[in-house]
Chain A
Amino acid sequence: MRNSLPRLTPKRCLKLAFLVAQILLLIGITGGSTTLQAATTRPPTLLSGPTSTRAIAFESVSMKAEPFPVTASVAFSTDTRTRIAIFAMNLDFLGAYGLGAAPEATTALTADAQDSAGKVYSLRIEHVGQVPGFPGITMIIVRLADDMGDVGDVLLNLNLHGTSSNRVRVAIGHMGGGPPDDIGAVATPAPVTPPPPDVPLVPETYLGPASSDADTVRFLEQASWGPTAAEVTRVRAMGFRAYLDEQFNLPPLNVPKGSNFPDMAFLVDDQGTACPATMPTDPTYVQADCNRDNFSMYQIHRNYYTNALYGPDQLRQRVAWALHQILVVSGRDITVPSRLTVYLQALDRGAFGNYRTLLNEITLNPAMGEYLDMRLSRRTDPNENFAREILQLFSIGTVELNLDGTSKLDAQGSPIASYNQTTVNEFTRVFTGWNFAAVIAAGTTNFRDPMIPRGGTNHDFNPKTLLNGLVTPQCAGTSGAVNVACAQADMTIALDNIFNHPNVGPFVGKQMIQHLVTSNPTPPYVARVARVFNNDCDALYPQGCTGVRGNMRAVVQAILLDPEARGDVKTDPNFGKLREPAQYVNNILRANNVKSFDRTTTSDGVLGSRSSSDFTNTLDQGIFLPPTVFSYFQPGYEIPGLKILGPAFGILSTSTTLRRANAVNTLVYSGVNVTTAPNTDRPRGTSLDLTNLETIANADPGGVADQLNALMLHGTMSTQMRTSLVTAMSAINDADTALRARKRARTAVYLVATSSQFDIQR
């Protein structure tokens, strides 16, 4: 047994298992010293018997072969679910890197099983260890899912970095009755010669051109408002690192503010005065336009869509949009656009800045001061609103987190609260005594400049106990300039205290991953990103780092270049995210040459009616109009019945799913027409230009499907789906060839854009 590996028949398997079981606790995955340059993670290989896909597997305690009862034959704990051992090769875990990051935790590995009804179960992996004497073979112990019954055969797979293994057959309850083998599945017996130890994965440098269109498309789905054909070509040639550097350094439109949102005039607060019925000095004045431009979200929405559709600094926009959903101010409450603009500009600046700076800017932002009432909070009548939400939503969350984003547990296995009502009371006292800066002009509240201390005795001057027991000093006095200085000093201490809490990296990092890449990142992925948040040099890609905490530019780079994010295709059934409405609409438009309604120029960026109810509002995501400080949907939203997270599914109801299809119908078949005088809201309108598809649609409908496959599904379209599209296109046979081509192209775009395959960014 030392020099050649026998075929693992069940009988021999038991012998092996016996050996394994004896020293199971002594071993673990170790990082080897040799390294392998690999473009992306190889698929792991699960071992089967020599002639079928039936797994080499045994019950981990009794070592009995299948069929496996769902309840263990020998109960080792109060949890009586059966555990089974399976065997795999080619597990490309990451090696050690950075400032002492250990080789990748085995929690990077996940397992799923699918039954004959198509239901997919997540299986908890409880142990991963090398098989003694066979360092290239790994034993994995999985726990059967709680909702698994006597389902018969299931197909079981492992996932690593978003890449699935082959699927092997395991009998649960009874033999047989499972789903058919995957197309092309073969037996995967252990090789006759024992395989060498798995070597750590060394990620690509991404310094040269990108290796494929597919990964470039995926990269642009994550890093922009969606790939265009031209951007795929350009970014593939320049490579991902060069693209990121370009994006980090591209100036926004409003350079002094570090933002694409232009400064807006601050008119007097009273709308009737600001926009009177007539303005004798200005013959072109129209009251309706004045109201639209100064008291609705119209201009903000136009700027947002125009930049999303055509702006060059795509990454800043995507990151700022994600930050908006963490550090929420809503245009439902801050309805004056000049006021909301100052908040949006802070997000743009913060996208590649330091999170500590952003936290300070947002805390003192007058729109936030109004939204969460900090400006009203004074020593004698404190208001808890901001204090609670900065802790719960903007920084640390409600429970103590490990570096990898999982909850720390107490001795009873319960999560540990990261703060309590007393903590909120103390921070409330810290945030007392602030107000808007001096009015801009008589009757014009200052929503332009950061808030300032009120003075008087409005800031609570007694010591406050913050996180980790830190106590602020007693103020040197109680009133006047001393009170002002103390409010400022307390603010600095408190924000430092929050910012340095170990939760911030995993809390913010995981949400950023969810916004850009995938709803269910593995714990090691979260840990890699959190490490970078904690110290930008503790990174797979540390170039240019300075050893600081909170560097969002480094965090974004770490998220986008991580092995779990990159690769041509992700076969892990858990991978990906539902395109939220803003992303969904922009992706469809950008992939299909969005233009003005007459297709002679660019879209005007007005997809809906003139009001603040923009196009995505019908999909429950009006831009910058979240219903509450809890944003459009919650990062912890679990899809019912699936036991995995799907934040954007929180607003995908049986209502909005149909409205999504209807929205595509409008974009593809009608476009958004221009408005006619005197209504100047949609001067150019919006439509798709499908000329390149129409050119080939009559002769080659399959080619249409292939183009859409490449740009919208990064090459993952199944042959079944392709056939379905071709059939639908081929049914259109108008004698007028131009009409036929147009209808075929539109049909194909409609079908891909409304498909669940496109709904999910994978």
Chain B
Amino acid sequence: MATTRRDFLRNTACALGSMAMASSIESFGIVNALTPQAATGYKALVCIFLNGGNDGNNVLVDLNQYATYATGRGVDIAIPQPSLLPVSPVGGGSYGFHPNMPEMQALFNQGKLAVVCNNGPLVEPLTRTTYQNGTGKKPLQLFSHSDQVGLYSTGIANIVAQTGWGGRVADLTKALNGLATFPSNVSIAGINLLLTGIDTRQLAVADSNTPLANVLQLNNGAGASTSDNNARNTSFNELRTFDNKFKLVKAASDTRSSAIQTDIALSTVSPVLTTVFPNTGLGRQLLQIARLIKACNDPVAGINMKRQIFFAQIGGFDTHSGQIAGQGALMQQVSQAMNAFYLATVELGRQNEVTTFTLSDFSRTLQPSGTGTGAGSDHAWGNNHLVLGGAVVGNTLYGTYPNLTLGGPNDTDGGATPRGRWIPTTSVEQFAATLATWYGLSPTDLPAVFPLIGRFPTPNLGFV
């Protein structure tokens, strides 16, 4: 008789429960009375990382600067003005979304979407003058993929930090989740620094191609008996308690134990959503997040989360070449998937409790690299990010849209051929601190998560 997966999980749970190492397993499936500090309502942050450096210049164009934009970009990567999807933000002006983002245009007009303009990692406020004459402090390794992904993830621009701001926020808001022991930070895109805290470890799950309740497969082959499998599973679990003085062995064991504990918790529910998601990489990730939000609030599962931070990711934005076609397809995917996710939060009745935002390595040079359909752009700095949700004060731009003049007041580049790399006018710390404050991070804890926040005019940009 083949062992069923449920048998395995039950046996696993028994084995784990008997071990000192399984400190949290027992409470996974139990609805606990909330501790006094636990939050009463639910809130989640959802990060969509646009990997490779999304060209924010073509996400939202200032139509009052269109001539400057068109000159700087050149014919090969400028979007023709008639194609841009116009919006009129509350603060005035006239702007146009990328033509493949009609869903974002609509949500902007409905007041659910905001754009944070010219945002990027900063050690302190910088001007073109202080940047160029060296008196201003600059972030580490500007324009490098790995380093700038790191700066957006860590939220500390002057050191190589080993924890992310999402992880540190989770560390300091742990009490809001009461006695729940399910990991608050969940990635659908593999391990990432943003969700790693000092104490917080992230859960990584696969996208919606894998149902939540079907992660571990076991097949002992023809003829395996229950007792055979029980003995095997006992040993399988027991081995993880040995040799833990070797750090790497322990790290591998801890990862697997965490996976199995979570798997047990999720195996009791199969959340279903009626909202239709696009069957794209990002669509499947965001669908899985919607399912997790549902599962983690399902009384049957008893996971009972009050605060969660999710991470999704889509790659391909490093458009040194072929930008119009390449980025165009990606922006369509982003816009459609974000829209479906917002509709799913409405279906769950949690649209005001879930705030979704984009991040990326950096923006790209206004001035192109290459020519023709092969034209692209190079690594730059300040970028335009989207923030979406019912709690968002939408239909508004935050920060200051950059002056698009090559070699102008926002450009890092001097010399004869400035390329248009915008010096950010708001910092990653301000952007993240705004989200963290909404999430429930105490103002007194802000400097612990964002040590440089005091150098900027305000810790809250006010978009949510």
Q: Considering the complex, which residues of chain A in the window 657-697 have a beta carbon less than 8 Å from any beta carbon of chain B?
A: 657-658, 661-662, 665-666, 669-670
Within 8 Å of chain B (Cβ to Cβ): is A240? no
- Residue in B144, B239, B258 whose beta carbon sits within 8 Å of that of A751 in the complex: B239
Q: How far is the CB of B216 from chain A (nearest CB, A)?
A: 5
Taking a contact as CB atoms closer than 8 A, the residue among A377, A657, A762 that contacts B369 in the complex is A377
Query: Which residue of the partner chain B has the closest CB to A629?
Result: B145
The answer to whether A751 and B235 have CB atoms under 8 Å apart is yes
Interface hub of B187, B223, B375 (most chain A Cβ within 10 A): B223
Check A638–B162 contact: CB distance below 8 A: yes
Q: Are A757 and B318 in contact (CB under 8 A)?
A: no
Cross-chain contact B143 with A760 (CB below 8 angstroms): no
Q: Is the CB of A654 within 8 A of B204?
A: yes
B232 pairs with A747, CB closer than 8 A: yes
Among A392, A574, A577, A639, the most chain B Cβ lie within 10 Å of the Cβ of A639
Q: A754 on the interface (CB 8 Å rule)? A: yes
Q: With contacts A628-B145, A754-B236 known, is A658 near B216, CB below 8 A? A: yes
Is the beta-carbon distance between A750 and B242 smaller than 8 angstroms? no
Q: Which of A573, A718, A730 has the most CB of B within 10 A?
A: A573
C-alpha gap A623/B258 in the complex (Å): 27
Which residues between 151 and 196 of chain A lie within 8 Å of chain B, taking CB atoms? none
Q: Are A373 and B252 in contact (CB under 8 A)?
A: no
Can you give 15 A-B contacts (C-beta < 8 A)?
A376-B369, A574-B248, A640-B196, A641-B198, A654-B204, A656-B190, A657-B256, A658-B215, A661-B216, A662-B217, A665-B217, A750-B232, A754-B236, A755-B239, A757-B239
Nearest to A421 among chain B residues (CB) is B143
Measured CB to CB, the closest approach of chain B to A738, in angstroms, equals 11
Indicate whether A728 reaches chain B with its CB closer than 8 angstroms. yes
Chain B residues in 8 Å Cβ range of A398? 141, 144, 147
- A746 to B: closest C-beta gap in Å: 7
How far does the alpha carbon of A382 sit from the alpha carbon of B191 in the complex, in Å? 35
Contacts of A372 in B (CB 8 A): 320
Scan B164-207; emit 1 where CB is below 8 A from any A CB, else 0: 00000000000000000000000100110000111101111110
What is the distance, in angstroms, from A456's C-beta to the closest C-beta of chain B? 13
Partner of A382, one of B315, B318, B369: B369
Q: Which 10 A-B pairs have the closest CB atoms?
A: A653-B204, A731-B231, A654-B259, A383-B369, A756-B252, A728-B235, A669-B221, A385-B320, A756-B253, A376-B370
Task: Say whether A642 contacts B187, CB under 8 Å.
Answer: no
Q: Does A491 contact B (CB under 8 A)?
A: no
Question: Which of B's residues lie within 8 Å of A, judged by CB?
Answer: 51-52, 140-147, 160, 162-163, 187, 190-191, 196-199, 201-206, 215-221, 223-224, 227-228, 230-232, 234-236, 238-240, 242-253, 255-256, 258-260, 262-263, 315, 318, 320-321, 368-371, 374-376, 378-379, 412
- Given the complex, which residues of B lie within 8 Å of A385, measured CB to CB? 318, 320, 369, 378
Q: Which residues of A contact B221 (CB under 8 A)?
A: 669-670, 743, 746
Establish whether residues B256 and A658, one from each chain, have CB atoms under 8 Å apart when the complex forms. Answer: yes
Q: Which residues of B contact A392 (CB under 8 A)?
A: 144, 146
- A718 partner residues in chain B, CB cutoff 8 A: 242-243
> In the assembled complex, which residues on chain B have CB atoms less than 8 Å from the CB atom of A641?
198-199, 201
Do A421 and B142 have beta carbons less than 8 Å apart?
yes
In the assembled complex, which residues on chain B have CB atoms less than 8 Å from the CB atom of A661?
216, 236, 256
Tell me whether A373 and B321 are in contact in the complex, defined as CB-CB below 8 angstroms, given that A665-B217, A724-B235, A739-B223 are known contacts.
Answer: yes
Judged by a CB distance under 8 angstroms, whether A248 is at the interface is no
- Complex contact A376–B243 (CB within 8 A): no
Contact pick for B220, options A643, A653, A656, A669, CB 8 Å: A669
Q: Across the interface, which residues of B come within 8 angstroms of A642, CB to CB? A: 247, 251
Please name the residue on chain A nearest to B421 by beta carbon. Answer: A421
Chain B neighbourhood of A732, CB < 8 A: 228, 231
Closest approach, in angstroms, between the C-beta of A199 and any C-beta of chain B?
A: 30
Q: Are B370 and A417 in contact (CB under 8 A)?
A: no
A669 to B252, CA, bound (A): 23
Q: How far, in whole Å, are A331 and B113 apart by their CA atoms in the complex? A: 37
A630 vs B315: C-alpha distance in the bound complex, in angstroms? Answer: 12
A330 → chain B closest CB, angstroms:
11
Q: Report chain B residues within 8 Å CB of A721.
A: 239, 242-243
Q: Please, which residues of chain B bring their CB within 8 A of the CB of A620?
A: 190
C-alpha spacing A670/B220, complex, angstroms: 9
Question: Which one, B219, B250, B379, contacts A384 given CB within 8 A?
Answer: B379
CB distance from A583 to the nearest CB of B (A): 14
Given the contacts A398-B141, A649-B251, A756-B249, A628 and B205 also touching, CB distance less than 8 Å: no
Contact B246 A743 (CB under 8 A): no
Question: Closest approach, in angstroms, between the C-beta of A468 and any C-beta of chain B?
Answer: 19
Chain B residues lying within 8 Å of A417, measured Cβ to Cβ, are 140-141
List residues of chain B with CB within 8 A of the CB of A258. Answer: none
Give the A interface residue count (CB, 8 A): 81
- Knowing A651-B190, A652-B255, A724-B235 touch, does A634 contact B146 (C-beta < 8 A)? yes
Collect the chain B residues with CB atoms within 8 Å of residue A245's CB.
none
Contacts of A670 in B (CB 8 A): 219, 221
A373-B369, A573-B246, A756-B249 given; A655·B232 CB < 8 A: no
Interchain nearest-CB distance for B413 vs A (Å) = 8
Residues of A within 8 A of B205 (CB): 654-655
Query: Contacts of B203 on A, CB cut-off 8 Å?
Result: 654
Contact A654 B258 (CB under 8 A): yes
CB distance from A104 to the nearest CB of B (A): 23
**Bound-complex Cα distance A662 to B236 (A):** 13
Which residues of B lie under 8 Å from residue A743 when comparing CB positions?
220-221, 223-224, 228
Does A377 lie within 8 Å of B223, measured CB to CB? no
A734 at the interface (CB under 8 A from B): yes
Inter-subunit contact B251/A639 (CB<8 Å): yes
**Does A126 belong to the interface (CB within 8 Å)?**
no
B249 touches A760 (CB 8 A): yes
Contact A577 B248 (CB under 8 A): yes
Judge whether A509 is part of the interface by a CB distance below 8 angstroms.
no
Contact A573 B245 (CB under 8 A): yes
Q: Which residues of B contact A649 (CB under 8 A)?
A: 191, 248, 251-252, 255
B190 touches A653 (CB 8 A): yes
Q: Which residues of A contact B140 (CB under 8 A)?
A: 415, 417
| A120 / chain B contacts, CB cutoff of 8 Å | 245, 247, 250
Inter-chain contacts of A724 with B (CB < 8 A): 234-235, 238-239, 242
Give the distance in Å from the alpha carbon of A751 to the alpha carbon of B242 in the complex.
Answer: 13
Asked if residues B315 and A657 are in contact (CB atoms below 8 Å), the reply is: no
A530 adjacent to chain B (CB < 8 Å): no
Q: Does B249 lie within 8 Å of A728, measured CB to CB?
A: no
Query: Which of A629, A651, A728 is packed against the most chain B CB atoms within 10 Å?
Result: A728
> Quick one: given A628-B315, A728-B234, A743-B223, are A388 and B252 in contact (CB under 8 Å)?
no
Given contacts A628-B52, A724-B239, 15 further A-B contacts (CB under 8 A): A120-B247, A382-B369, A383-B321, A574-B247, A628-B318, A634-B146, A639-B248, A652-B252, A655-B190, A657-B252, A658-B215, A661-B236, A661-B256, A720-B242, A724-B234
- Per-residue CB contact flags for chain A residues 322-340 toward chain B (1 = under 8 Å, else 0) read 0000000000000000000
**Closest A residue by C-beta to B51:** A628
Cα–Cα distance between A750 and B229 once the two chains are bound (Å): 12
Please measure, in the bound complex, the distance between the C-alpha atom of A712 and the C-alpha atom of B320, giving whole angstroms: 45
Chain A residues, Cβ within 8 Å of B190: 620, 651, 653, 655-656
Whether the pair B252, A383 counts as a contact (CB closer than 8 A) is no
Q: Which residue of A lies closest to B369 (CB)?
A: A383
B370–A655 CB distance below 8 A: no
Cα(A650)–Cα(B220), bound, Å: 30
Residues of A within 8 A of B143 (CB): 388, 421, 424
Binary interface encoding of chain A residues 566-584 relative to chain B, with 1 for a CB under 8 A from any of its CBs, else 0: 0000000111111000000
A178 shortest CB reach to chain B, Å: 13
Q: Which residue of A lies closest to B246 (CB)?
A: A573
**Please, how many angstroms separate the alpha-carbon atoms of A725 and B231 in the complex?**
9
B376 touches A383 (CB 8 A): yes
